[in-house]
Amino acid sequence: MPEPKVAQKAPIVMDMKAGTYYWCGCGHSATQPFCDGAHKAAGFEGEENCPRKVEIKEDGKVPWCACKHTKMAPWCDGTHTKI
């Protein structure tokens, strides 16, 4: 499996509406933190984290992982402070 690209070394905190989203796990998407299909050209086709379907049940702030190395995908767990 290819190593994900670090999109940024901080979470992307966003106000989100309840709904379905697709998180970019490879770091190559131009529409971070969401998937734009760039994983196909980056060699992540079919990988577990790219894209990852996310169901948000209620409106509110969420900390999307942008370093792509979290153990709690798609949420930030602070791993960016160690890379």
Question: pLDDT tens for residues 2-32?
Answer: 789 999 999 999 999 999 999 999 999 999 9
Domain membership of residue 4 (yes or no) is: no
Residue 68 pLDDT greater than 90, yes or no: yes
Residue 66 pLDDT greater than 70, yes or no: yes
Domain membership of residue 7 (yes or no) is: no
Question: pLDDT tens for residues 29-52?
Answer: 999 999 999 988 888 876 667 899
Domain membership of residue 3 (yes or no) is: no
CA dist 83 and 80 (Å) reads 5
Bridge partner residues of 62 (DSSP): 14
Q: Are 73 and 25 in contact (CB under 8 A)?
A: yes
Domain membership of residue 76 (yes or no) is: yes
Query: In the chain, how many domains are there?
Result: 1
Domain membership of residue 39 (yes or no) is: yes
SS (H, E, C) 6-74: CCCCCCEEEEECCEEEEECCCCCCCCCCECCCCHHHHCCCCCCCCCEEEEECCCEEEEECCCCCCCCCC
Domain membership of residue 5 (yes or no) is: no
- Predicted TM-score (pTM) of the model is 0.90
Give the domain extent around 19. 12-82
